[in-house]
Structure 1
Amino acid sequence: MSHGKIREDKTCLNCGYQVEERFCPHCGQENTERRQPFYFLFTHFVEDFTHYDGQFWGTVKNLLFKPGRLTNTYLEGKRQKFVPPVKLYIFVSFITFFLFALFPPFKINYGHTEKKEHDVTKTSTTKNQTVQNIVNGIEAEKLEVKDSAKIAELNQAQTYIQDSLKKGSFQEGLISTLDTDNKIADDSGFLGYKTQEEYDKGTANKKDIFSFINDPFAHKFFSLKEEGVKKGDILRNLIETSFHNLPKALFIYLPIFAFFLWIFHSKRKWWYFDHGIFTLHYFSFLLVSILILALLIKAAGSLAEYTFFPSLISLIIFAVSIYGLIYFFIAHRRVYKSHGVVSIIIGAIIFFLNLIAFTFLVTGLALVSFLMLH
């Protein structure tokens, strides 16, 4: 309930209707003073979403602990009891990604610290010594073998190992797998072409249905190669750009998720609108769950020096993850009121299809994010 100062004039500023109490009975506008203290901007924002009369907190409680309750209540026509689905989703999405911006759920660090470099050097030296011991063992075995064919085979093996050791192939994997500290190699290419000029000439007369995809990716690849951008910077920017585009991807996927629900349920009993309400509530729950998991992971990292708390938080994370997995099936059963086994089968099919579709969407998001790198 707003705490803005009530006007003495009982005429509604919006429609001119007579207002006997706080709200106009004709248009619903609150009859408060036109000008308020500056802090009212912030208090009004909080009040608008949290509703001090308990609407918001009641919505959150039912969203988290009573799967399907919000959807059933809304479809029954009780629209004022809880926060509307669209408003709830927008607010939860805003809070989730706002907190993620302030407290990133992951930290990307590609630089090798002095300690790591020392460990890599030490490990590399140990492995080189091991390989050298193998070579020495082969040499000793050659002294004991009298068969010329066997000696030739041992010589070949010894030569191969020594050459591999010199080239460093036995040290692969000791440095970062992605080699993030280095730039894109000069001899690396896209579809077999080393430069943009080679690509343009080679594909000039080979345009096909995939050209509209290959061309922009080739241009971006060669552009990054010419600029000398490090692989670690590319990967970091790719992850960050993809993460920033995730809210858009989720919003785009809302109608797709509802479409899969529409396919598997009676068209006479359930309208696409009904599936949309279920989807908004379910996605709101997913966002809240992701936020809770991210905060728990942060807490576990901060309390890592203690013995008891990390184990407890890990147990809570596991419980929240399992609950998040079965939440959909519980909500689906309560809203669509299918038979237990039928509901589980249909729910599993819908869940699996959405998992595949969302994977394609995330892949597309990553590809778009790559094109947006700069």
Structure 2
Amino acid sequence: MSHGKLREEKDCLNCGHIVEEHYCPHCGQQNIETRQPFHYLFTHFIEDFTHYDGQFWGTLKNLLFKPGKLTTTYLEGKRQKFVPPVKLYIFISFITFFLFAVFPPFSIDFEGKKNAEKEKTISLNRLAETSEKLDSIRTEEKMKGTDSVTISKVNALLKDSARLSDIEDSFDMSKKLDDDFKFNGYTNQKSFDSAKAKNPAFYDFINVPVAHKFFELKEKGVSKGEILKNLIEISFHNLPKALFIYLPMFAFFLWIFHNKKKWWYFDHGIFTLHYFSFLLLTFLLFSFLYKLTTVTHTSISIIIYLLMNVLFFYSIIYFFIAHYKVYHTHGVISFIIGSILFMFNFFAFIFLVIGLGVVSFLMIH
């Protein structure tokens, strides 16, 4: 394998030793020309990672279709056959979040209904006219029983329409934080701080900063769409860091439920890196399939949605299969431990997402 044009000279530019072939036997540096074409910067990175010798593609194949294989092989000491766990996780994480930044998996309307005010006004006027006609019918002295039933049904429809209108207002992303918006019943920071000074609570270390940020954004006249957009962007930016922090926690849960003498924390860390690499790669594939549904025919989209469901359930079953093959416990015991771990991590991950949302909200400017 060659990453660039080899030098005619046989002296190593790094340490000065004689280089018989491609690599220096003393320091390992490749004896190539110091100046290369611009595209070499990118091809060199890809070649270094994939090796073009099947190591990278073999790693991906085993990661996707042979749960637990990479972890078992690595812990057995066979560490040259596949890409190292840390390097694999960092690479897949980088590719995943880079592609998500360039091609967002989901599109959200942050502008709301700025262009729908006219339609909304027309609808409200029609509702008002209908209500006036009903009132005029009620005032008539003689009214049949069927008319009474009809009026009751129409009244119910009007109430539902009004309720739907309120729901639509709540999803109107163009609406700014005005006096209608309150935090725990308070419309401004002064009244909130005064109430908290009289009645402090144990969760104020979270509640107070969030409230202050809310009132700060309210004073700036920020719209709900702008807040949501900034919240998603900041959360997406912080997500790789949050996942990296969560890795040792996931490994810690594994350490709790397994034999401490047989399995070291290091072993659980390797399992965790491989499993999270699989999850990131699966999420990337899931997003790619979702993108395809927006540009394909309806019949093909149905097949793609079916594949997405299969991928979703496979990502859940994958953990139990990998856990069973790596830790070699009895099938029933492995399933019970796996279920407990799955539940623990489910709630821990929800807590992580909530924490990420709070931190991201506090970082909005």
- 2:276 aligned residue (262, 270, 283): 283
- Quick one: structure 1 residues 310 and 9, their matched pair in 2 at CA, closer, same or farther if it must change by over 3 Å? same
Deviations 1:288-335 (A, max 9, x none): 1101110110000111xx232111111111111111111111111111
List alignment gaps of at least 5 residues for structure 1. 146-153
Task: Give the AA of the match of 1:184.
Answer: L
Structure 1 residue aligned with 2:70 = 70
Identity percentage over the alignment? 59
Q: Tell me how far apart the structure 2 counterparts of residues 200 and 247 of structure 1 sit (CA, whole Å).
A: 35
Q: 1:205 Cα deviation (Å)?
A: 5.3
Distance 2:142 2:360 in 1: 57
Distance change >3 Å, CA 114–CA 189, structure 1 → 2: closer
Return the match for 1:352 from 336, 343, 346: 343
Does residue 1:35 correspond to 2:30, yes or no?
no
Scaled by the length of structure 2, the TM-score of the pair is: 0.86
Deviates more, 1:200-209 or 1:132-141: 132-141
Distance in 2 of aligned mates of 1:224 and 1:34: 54
One-letter amino acid of the counterpart of residue 210, structure 1: Y
Q: Would the alpha carbon gap of residues 290 and 116 (structure 1) be closer, same or farther in structure 2, given more than 3 Å must change?
A: farther
2:298 corresponds in structure 1 to: 307
Q: Which amino acid aligns with 2:7?
A: R
After TM superposition, list the pairs within 5 Å mapping 1:209-228 onto structure 2: 209-228=202-221
Show the counterpart of 1:248.
Answer: 241
Aligned to 2:332: 341
Asked if 2 retains the 8 angstrom alpha-carbon contact of 1:2 and 1:44, the reply is: no
- Mark the CA change 1:48 to 1:197 in structure 2 (over 3 Å): closer, same or farther: same
Aligned to 2:113: 112
Cα offsets for 1:29-86 (capped at 9, x unmatched): 2222333332221111111122111111111111111111111111111111111111
Deviation string, structure 1 residues 211-258 (Cα, Å, up to 9, x no partner): 332332122111111111111221222122212221111111111111
| Mapping of residues 56-205 of structure 1, within 5 Å | 56-110=56-110, 111-112=112-113, 118=119, 169-173=162-166, 175-204=168-197
Given the alignment of the two structures, is residue 265 of structure 1 paired with residue 266 of structure 2, yes or no? no
Amino acid at match of 1:302: V
- Determine if contact 2:3/2:47 at 8 Å carries over to the other structure: no
SS at match of 1:175: helix
RMSD: 3.2
CA contact (8 A) 2:178 2:221 kept: no
Give the TM-score taking structure 1 as reference length.
0.84
**Separation in structure 2 between the aligned mates of residue 79 and residue 9 of structure 1, nearest angstrom:** 34
- Structure 1 residues 174 and 364, CA, compared in 2 at 3 Å: closer, same or farther? closer
SS at match of 2:238: helix
Question: What whole-Å deviation, never above 9, does each CA across 1:261-283 have from its counterpart, x for those lacking one?
Answer: 11111111111111111111111
Classify the secondary structure of the residue corresponding to 1:302. coil
In 2: Cα distance, 1:213 partner to 1:117 partner: 41
Q: Distance in 2 between matches of 1:131 and 1:256?
A: 60
Count of aligned pairs between the two proteins = 357
